């Protein structure tokens, strides 16, 4: 049996979530809510459902905004009202019916909100960057005013607004439970609001939410605590990090590893490691270019558990140009991560997981494909 297609367990404070294998569909924006109301559509059911039928162990819905102004684009999903939660329910039911777990990435884009989606209908018209108010855009918010993203200047959040924002994350988490999700991933990567607080490149605040490491990480710690307080104790909670800004004076992998250990004590058990997102990308490029970041965090969590003489129940996933079954298997065999998140390769091939199982020599009866597709002769 391959390591990639061995069963996995995600821990929670008073429960566990079993996965049929260690493949995760990474959250990827679809820019497909044409009504601009944050409500999932038949497209989202088909897109996510196809990957569940295609064998993934965990299927994670795209960045789903906790407030309307937190959307990356006006066409993004949301969980700021009950109508959205109810519309997600058939999607999560179908995902589970295919043998996968259903996850959602909760997000707030901060200064990178209100932008045109990166899809042909906008790009072909030369529509990129910030959406003006006349086309449905809005004034964005951030820890500090910044031009780092090359977008419209955001409005700095007051301390009172930060407190309200923390509660919005908690409210969205409650709705995620009502919608039937098994897992939440808090989006703290790619230059969006939480990452904007973490990075010195975008956080120039002089109060308790800026300056030192403790100040810059405060918002995420408060968000995690608020979400974990309302998210069922038997369900695991995760965070996606940008492990490094790849810029001198920016957020570093050492800080990421330190924060992962601290968040573990607040009830986060699943960590996904990406990178960059603030300004132009300056990091490495190539197959598996972010795997070393996952390895660093995995080692830090293991060392902390050993020092405290407790079981290491953290689960770390790697992401970034992992495209082949052999590559994914090697990451796990080398102990660099516990699972792999597949992104663009899964856009090209909904059955990526099932095909990977066959490439790795899994028996047909252990290959995770929909029974309706049996005649494909896997």
Dump pLDDT digits (tens) for 309-358: 999 999 999 999 999 999 999 999 999 999 999 999 999 999 999 999 99
Selection from 301, 293, 221 nearest residue 260 by Cα: 301
Quick check: helix, strand or coil at residue 84?
Answer: helix
CA angle 301/274/248 to nearest 5° reads 90
- pLDDT surpassing 90 at residue 20: yes
Q: What is the pTM of this model?
A: 0.98
- Residue 314's contacts (CB-CB under 8 Å, 6 or more residues apart) are 11, 260, 264, 269, 270, 271, 298, 301, 302, 305
Distance, CA of 298 to CA of 325 (rounded, Å): 21
Distance, CA of 55 to CA of 357 (rounded, Å): 9
Share of the chain above pLDDT 90, in %: 99
Q: How many CB atoms lie within 10 A of CB 343?
A: 17
Rounded mean pLDDT, 43-69: 98
- pLDDT surpassing 90 at residue 40: yes
Question: Helix crossing, 325-333 with 352-359: angle to 10°?
Answer: 70
Question: What pLDDT score does 226 carry?
Answer: 98
Catalytic member of 192, 209, 219, 281: 192
Question: What pLDDT score does 108 carry?
Answer: 98
Q: Report pLDDT digits (tens) over 197-209.
A: 999 999 999 999 9
- Do residues 34 and 73 lie in contact, with contact meaning Cβ atoms separated by under 8 Å? no
Question: What pLDDT score does 78 carry?
Answer: 98
Phi, psi dihedrals of residue 273, rounded to the nearest 5°? -115, 110
Question: What pLDDT score does 63 carry?
Answer: 98
Rounded mean pLDDT, 9-38: 98
Distance, CA of 241 to CA of 254 (rounded, Å): 12
Rounded mean pLDDT, 263-290: 96
| DSSP state letters, 201-214 | TT----STTSSSHH
Q: Report pLDDT digits (tens) over 131-174.
A: 999 999 999 999 999 999 999 999 999 999 999 999 999 999 99
pLDDT-based confidence at residue 1 (cuts at 50, 70, 90): confident
**Would residue 209 show up in a list of annotated catalytic residues for this protein?**
no
Selection from 292, 233, 294 nearest residue 22 by Cα: 294
Rounded mean pLDDT, 110-136: 97
Distance, CA of 366 to CA of 358 (rounded, Å): 9
Phi, psi dihedrals of residue 191, rounded to the nearest 5°? 80, 10
Distance, CA of 95 to CA of 55 (rounded, Å): 10
pLDDT-based confidence at residue 218 (cuts at 50, 70, 90): very high
- Do residues 69 and 114 lie in contact, with contact meaning Cβ atoms separated by under 8 Å? yes
pLDDT-based confidence at residue 113 (cuts at 50, 70, 90): very high
Distance, CA of 101 to CA of 175 (rounded, Å): 17
Query: How high does pLDDT run on average in the chain?
Result: 97
């Amino acid at each position: 049996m391959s390591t990639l297609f061995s069963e996995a367990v995600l821990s929670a404070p008073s429960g566990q979530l079993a996965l049929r294998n260690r493949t995760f569909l990474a959250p990827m924006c679809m820019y497909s809510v044409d009504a601009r109301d944050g409500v999932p559509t038949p497209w989202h059911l088909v897109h996510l459902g196809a990957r569940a039928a295609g064998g993934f162990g965990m299927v994670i819905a795209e960045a789903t905004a906790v407030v309307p102004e937190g959307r990356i684009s006006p066409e993004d999903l949301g969980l700021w009202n009950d109508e959205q939660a109810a519309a997600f329910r058939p999607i999560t039911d179908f995902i589970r019916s295919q043998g996968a777990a259903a996850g959602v990435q909760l997000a707030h884009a901060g200064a990178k909100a209100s932008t045109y989606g990166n899809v042909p209908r906008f790009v072909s018209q030369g529509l990129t960057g910030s959406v003006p108010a006349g086309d449905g855009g809005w004034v964005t918010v951030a820890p500090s005013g910044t031009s780092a993203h090359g977008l419209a200047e955001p409005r700095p959040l007051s301390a009172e607004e930060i407190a309200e924002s923390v509660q919005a994350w908690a409210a969205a988490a409650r709705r995620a439970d009502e919608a039937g999700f098994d897992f939440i991933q808090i989006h703290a990567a790619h230059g969006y609001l939480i990452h904007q607080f973490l990075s010195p490149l975008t956080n120039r605040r002089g109060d308790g939410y800026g300056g030192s490491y403790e100040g810059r990480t405060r918002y995420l710690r408060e968000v995690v605590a608020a979400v974990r307080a309302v998210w069922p104790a038997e369900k695991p909670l995760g965070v996606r990090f940008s492990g490094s800004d790849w810029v001198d004076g920016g957020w570093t992998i050492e800080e990421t590893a330190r924060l992962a250990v601290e968040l573990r004590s607040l009830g986060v058990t699943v960590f996904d490691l990406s990178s960059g997102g603030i300004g132009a990308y300056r990091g490495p490029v190539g197959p598996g270019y972010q795997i070393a970041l996952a390895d660093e965090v995995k080692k830090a969590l293991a060392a902390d558990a050993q020092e405290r003489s407790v079981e290491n129940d953290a689960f770390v996933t790697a992401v970034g140009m992992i495209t082949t079954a052999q590559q994914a298997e090697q990451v796990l065999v080398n102990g660099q991560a516990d699972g792999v998140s597949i992104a663009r390769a899964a856009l090209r091939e909904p059955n990526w997981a099932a095909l990977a199982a066959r490439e790795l020599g899994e028996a047909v009866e252990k290959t995770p494909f929909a029974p309706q597709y049996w005649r494909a002769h896997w």
